[in-house]
Amino acid sequence: MTARWAGTTAYAIGTIILPTVDNGRCFYAANGGTSAGSEPIWPTRFTGSGSTAPGLYGGVLDGTVTWTPYTVITPQGIRDMMGWDTDTSNQTQPNHTDTILGNYLLDAIDELEKTTRRYFVNKPGKSWQTTSYGRPILALPGIRTASSVTWMGAVQMAGIVGQGSGYMLEPDANQTGVYTSIAFRPMHVTESGPWWLSLGGATTNWFDTGADNPYDPRNYGGGYTYTSTEQDTVITGDWGYLPGAEPGGFVHALGVLAAFMAMRPSALLADSVITAQGGILSYASMPAEIAQFVKDWSAGQQAVSLG
């Protein structure tokens, strides 16, 4: 798990931390140094209030450390990809400073996560809530590890693979190290034995655990939907990918979308621009690479109830 900020602490360049109170962003050290005795005011966007360090991504000064919102790709990475510079006197291209491109990167992260309904950037210790209606399988936006799971108002324990009982986290289709669905009962029982043989501990204490009750959560399934209270499922854990471990497909899509956003202002009114070669470039829809990424990585019902 990413560490929380601490006062009067030496940090190496590239260290990634979280504020003591989450604000939706993690930050990395743009240079090595020692933090101040009191926590700085963290920005929720790419630029912070108060003192900034020119040339260091407009970050927040904290003692001798400058913290910059983590954007997976740096603004310089976008400039390198597109062959841009930061010369504002060059009227043939817009201003591509760290601050402007940094904000586009943050916007692109939010847009890709919203469109795919997936978490890609590190979100440690986050609580995710939903209403299950008693469904035995729920789609998740991408969790690495779960620290607590409550379903239908009851705390659930992690089950043992192959034995049912408790909950099971199920990996994403691309097998990238996160889980995009959670199951609360065994998926299938053969005709060779009664249903309760698949209920974990209920194989030895059938009546003691109430497994004979048709309303026992372990017996839900068969396509039926049951009534539940609102927000009856709460899952707390580490979501998204560790900084630096994001899938290559996401990193590439992020760079393409941020560059697209940086170029689109010149076409906001007409959805198109005239290129230097005299052609017409349309900005009416997302680049094909982004559309394909959304198609390939969108979260959904990754498993099906067979009971």
194 domain-assigned:
yes
Among 189, 212, 239, identify where a domain stops: 239
Domain containing 252 equals 75-118+243-297
CB atoms within 10 A of CB 190: 7
What span, in angstroms and rounded, lies between the C-alpha atoms of 229 and 247? 36
184 domain-assigned:
yes
* Residues 232, 199 share a domain: yes
**Number of independent structural domains in the chain:** 2
Contact in structure between 44 and 25 (CB atoms under 8 Å): yes
Claim: this prediction has a pTM higher than 0.85:
no
- 241-273 pLDDT, tens digit per residue, is 988 899 999 999 999 999 998 888 877 777 887
Among 210, 239, 268, identify where a domain stops: 239
* Residues 158, 90 share a domain: no
According to the model, what pLDDT value does residue 48 have? 47
54 domain-assigned:
no
What span, in angstroms and rounded, lies between the C-alpha atoms of 232 and 55? 48
128 domain-assigned:
yes
- Residue 87 scores a pLDDT above 70: no
Higher pLDDT, 103 or 46: 103
What span, in angstroms and rounded, lies between the C-alpha atoms of 177 and 125? 17
Element (H, E) at 127: strand 123-130
Among 220, 239, 258, identify where a domain stops: 239
Pick the closest to residue 104 from 82, 81, 74 (CA basis).
74
* Residues 134, 112 share a domain: no
Tokens at 152, concatenated: 């239908």
16 domain-assigned:
no
Share of the chain above pLDDT 90, in %: 28
Q: Which residues pair with 182 in a beta bridge?
A: 138, 169
- 115-132 pLDDT, tens digit per residue, is 999 999 988 888 999 988
* Residues 161, 85 share a domain: no
- 178-194 pLDDT, tens digit per residue, is 999 998 765 455 565 65
- Residue 148 scores a pLDDT above 80: yes
* Residues 248, 235 share a domain: no
Higher pLDDT, 145 or 299: 145
1 domain-assigned:
no
Tokens at 259, concatenated: 């560059």
* Residues 281, 227 share a domain: no
- Residue 23 scores a pLDDT above 90: no
Q: Let me know the angle formed at the C-alpha of 177 by 171 and 181, rounded to the nearest 5 degrees.
A: 25
Burial of 169 per CB tally in 10 Å (0-12, 13-18, 19+) = buried
Distances in Å between the Cα of 264 and the Cα atoms of 34, 258, 268 are: 40, 10, 6
104 domain-assigned:
yes
- 4-18 pLDDT, tens digit per residue, is 899 999 999 989 898
* Residues 82, 106 share a domain: yes
- 68-80 pLDDT, tens digit per residue, is 888 899 888 999 9
Element (H, E) at 30: none
22 domain-assigned:
no
CA-based torsion, 277, 279, 283, 287: positive or negative: negative
Q: Let me know the angle formed at the C-alpha of 257 by 252 and 263, rounded to the nearest 5 degrees.
A: 130
Distances in Å between the Cα of 232 and the Cα atoms of 95, 229, 235, 266 are: 48, 6, 10, 47
According to the model, what pLDDT value does residue 123 have? 86
